[in-house]
């Protein structure tokens, strides 16, 4: 089932942990409720597809929907938006950094960051930071609840957590590492890669 031009339901259900554990966990993971599918559709159309189209660069879903059994098994909070299909951990293809076809998109992001905070993106910033920075700059045009620079070093998030809710969106920007979770401003978010 396609949720949009670039995203299918299947990629939000895939879980190596559920596949490894099998049995009831795998069965539940592969049978999301209609509400979860609706929530995933909203997440895709309100934020992920617009970002994918804007960057013209493939994205992969590291973690999308998690059934309660899977979520508990990996030690995540029971209040995680992943459980209800409102969140995805996303990684951007390195093509944005490597391909000359994507130079234009990279330059636009770099220019917007420089205009906004007066600093340039560092040469060692990762593709995931470009995704994070783009989502930060378009936060008020997208329907995003939480945008999180997760783990990794500053400017090199391991992935970008994006959540959206059909009922309310706080447009929060956070940074999570091993030691802390902090709510940050738009300027602080962009400065992580500068």
pLDDT tens digits along 131-154: 999 999 999 999 999 999 999 999
4 found inside a domain: no
3 found inside a domain: no
63 found inside a domain: yes
pLDDT at 168: 86
**CATH number of the structural domain spanning residue 41:** 3.30.1380.10
Number of domain units in the chain: 1
- The span from the first CA to the last CA of the chain, in angstroms, equals 39
pLDDT at 156: 97
pLDDT at 179: 87
103 found inside a domain: yes
Residue with tokens 């909203």: 42
Range of the domain at 71: 9-191
Report which of 39, 32, 84, 40 is spatially closest to residue 61, judged by C-alpha positions: 40
pLDDT at 43: 98
1 found inside a domain: no
* DSSP label at residue 148: E
Burial of 2-28, coded b for 16+ CB within 10 Å and e otherwise, reads ebeeebebebbbebeebeeeeeebbee
163 found inside a domain: yes
2 found inside a domain: no
Q: pLDDT in tens for each of the 194 residues of the chain? A: 999 999 999 999 999 999 999 999 999 999 999 999 999 999 999 999 999 999 999 999 999 999 999 999 999 999 999 999 999 999 999 999 999 989 999 999 999 999 999 999 999 999 999 999 999 999 999 999 999 999 999 999 999 999 999 998 899 999 999 889 999 999 999 999 99
């Amino acid at each position: 089932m396609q949720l949009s031009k670039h995203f299918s339901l299947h990629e939000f259900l895939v879980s190596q942990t559920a596949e490894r554990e099998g049995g009831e966990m795998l069965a539940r993971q592969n049978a999301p409720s209609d509400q979860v599918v609706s929530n995933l559709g909203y997440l895709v159309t309100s934020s992920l597809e617009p970002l994918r189209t804007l960057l013209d660069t493939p994205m992969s879903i590291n973690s999308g929907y998690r059934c309660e059994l899977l979520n508990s098994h990996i030690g995540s909070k029971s209040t995680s938006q992943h459980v209800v299909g409102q969140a995805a951990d996303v990684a951007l293809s390195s093509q944005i950094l490597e391909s000359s076809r994507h130079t234009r998109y990279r330059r636009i992001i770099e220019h917007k960051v420089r205009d906004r905070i007066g600093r340039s993106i560092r040469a060692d910033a990762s593709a995931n930071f470009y995704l994070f920075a783009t989502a930060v700059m378009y936060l008020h045009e997208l329907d995003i609840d939480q945008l999180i620079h997760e783990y990794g070093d500053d400017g090199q998030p391991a992935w970008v957590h994006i959540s959206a809710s059909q009922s309310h969106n706080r447009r929060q920007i956070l940074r999570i590492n091993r030691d802390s979770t902090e709510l940050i401003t738009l300027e602080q978010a962009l400065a992580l890669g500068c």
